[in-house]
Amino acid sequence: MVDGRPLALILAGAAGGAVASWLMGYLSNTAMLPLAVVPFATSILVVMGTPEAEPAQPRALVGGHLISTLVGLAMVHLTGPSPVAAAAAVGIAMLAMHLTRTFHPPAGIDPLIIVYQDMGWSFLLMPVAVGALLLAAFAFVWHNASRRGSWPARWW
């Protein structure tokens, strides 16, 4: 036991995190997206390492990334790329995630990437929507295979 959790579950989550990280890199290369613009590394840690946590649930994972991305895209298209716009987008995204009960801290990187890189609206679909849904599907398969039907705690 580590922090009240069985070591076997921690190891299963860590193995899943490694596999998901490899898949993220593979899919990023296949889609010709630089890994630096794929915002899921810390989401993998949350979803695979603490699957029972509220930010690891599908609503927060998918919703948090979509909402943060929308905020970042709106900000960069209204103001253009700048450090002030990036900072404001992060704050607004945090507020929007809280208001919609989709708070997923790793999604806070999305507005920064979008504003600093001056990303277009297609970023919402690929890599964000596709990536968040793929991560949720991967977590569902992995956790339910290794933890016997324990993820998610709730879909919505």
Residue 25 backbone dihedrals phi, psi, to 5 degrees:
-65, -45
The domain segmentation of the chain, as residue ranges, is 7-146
**75: how many CB neighbours lie within 10 A of its CB?**
24
pLDDT recorded at residue 36: 67
Picking from 26, 97, 5, the residue whose alpha carbon sits closest to that of residue 40 is 26
pLDDT recorded at residue 119: 95
DSSP character at residue 6: -
Q: Kindly state the percentage of the chain with pLDDT values over 90.
A: 78
pLDDT recorded at residue 131: 92
Res 71 pLDDT > 70: yes
pLDDT single digits (tens) 108-138: 999 999 999 999 999 999 999 999 999 999 9
Residue 114 neighbours by CB under 8 Å, 6+ apart: 69, 72, 73, 75, 76, 89, 123
Cα angle 67, 69, 70; round to 5: 65
Instruction: Please give the model's pTM, rounded to 2 decimal places.
Output: 0.92
